[in-house]
């Protein structure tokens, strides 16, 4: 009987819930990626004005998603090995 009540409560629960503590972070993330998406098409024009060839620009644009995919795994592994997350963050920020 108790299991039935738990199942009913789970069915009434919404599919996703908003964590109020994370709303500011979600807002900043939205603004950051929105700004990047707005500027991303103009990077090719800027690279062209800096003297990059079309092939070089294509290689850079092809490598960026790969690095974004592999980078978190590498930094996570390094953070676990080193254990000093502030040092990893300082290195990542530059």
Per-residue tokens: 17? 């819930």
- 66/39 same-domain check: no
**Angle ∠(25,29,34) on CA atoms, nearest 5:** 150
Please indicate whether residue 8 or residue 81 has the higher confidence score (pLDDT): 81
28-32, 68-72, 82-86: the lowest-pLDDT one: 82-86
Specify the pLDDT at position 28: 94
Instruction: Evaluate whether residue 4 is within a structural domain.
Output: no
46 and 59 co-located in one domain: no
For 60, the domain range is: 53-94
pLDDT digits (tens, 9 = 90+) for 50-59: 999 999 999 9
Domain-embedded: residue 6: no
- 3-class DSSP assignment, residue 19: coil
What lies within 8 Å, CB to CB, of 61 at 6+ separation is 44
* pLDDT for 71 beyond 90: no
Residue 30, domain member (yes or no): yes
Domain identity same for 38 and 63: no
**Residue bearing the bigger pLDDT, 16 or 67:** 67
Residues 72 and 90 reside in one and the same domain: yes
What is the residue-averaged pLDDT of the chain?
85
- Total count of domains within the chain: 2
Q: How far apart are the two ends of the chain, measured CA to CA in Å?
A: 58
């Amino acid at each position: 009987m108790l299991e039935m009540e738990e199942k009913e409560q789970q069915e009434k629960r919404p599919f996703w819930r908003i964590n109020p503590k994370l709303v500011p972070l979600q807002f900043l993330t939205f603004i950051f990626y929105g700004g990047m998406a707005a500027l991303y098409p103009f990077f090719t024009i800027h690279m062209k004005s800096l003297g990059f060839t079309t092939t070089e620009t294509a290689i850079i644009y092809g490598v960026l998603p790969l690095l974004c995919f592999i980078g978190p795994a590498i930094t996570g592994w390094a953070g676990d090995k080193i254990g000093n997350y502030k040092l990893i963050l300082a290195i990542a920020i530059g």
